[in-house]
Amino acid sequence: MNNEMDRSIVAELKKRGDMPLAMFRDFVGEVSDLEPHGDMQVVNSDWNCLLCTGVSGEFIQLMQRLTDNDLIEAKRMMESEAIFVHGYHGTEMYDMPVANEIPKNGYKKRRFAPTLIRAVTTPALRYSNTGASGA
């Protein structure tokens, strides 16, 4: 069941395009039976950065499966990009400094790392400098 639901979510993400993590959380609730909202946070503990709040354990497991299976990827946005993207999509920004340059050992005080979620291009559609690959 997870495989079918995961593929369905990713197929719909490909149609709609990249979106901020908070918007992806809401999107998952719209296109699946999974309840993405909860009282958990997505945190990168190596960086000491908050990525998203108000998520469920089910949503975190989904994110882990999708990234482990190379179906989605997360891209950290710079502050100027995040302000534009989050403003355009109407998703929340958090009242804390934005992580721009991640220190080698992470931040001492927690920062917000705005994150964009995108569907990974299938190997058959990836291109190298020498031409198409994976076909």
Q: Domain range for residue 86?
A: 2-121
Q: How many CB atoms lie within 10 A of CB 78?
A: 12
pLDDT beyond 90 at 71: yes
Q: What is the CA radius of gyration of the chain?
A: 16
Is pTM beyond 0.85 here? no
Residue 8: closest CA among 34, 42, 35: 34
pLDDT value for 102: 87
Give per-residue pLDDT as tens, 7-48. Answer: 999 999 999 999 889 889 999 999 999 999 999 999 999 999
Say if 129 falls within a structural domain.
Answer: no
Say if 69 falls within a structural domain.
Answer: yes
pLDDT value for 93: 62
pLDDT value for 29: 95
Say if 134 falls within a structural domain.
Answer: no
Say if 132 falls within a structural domain.
Answer: no
Count up the domains in the chain and report the number.
1
Residue 41: closest CA among 108, 92, 102, 100: 92
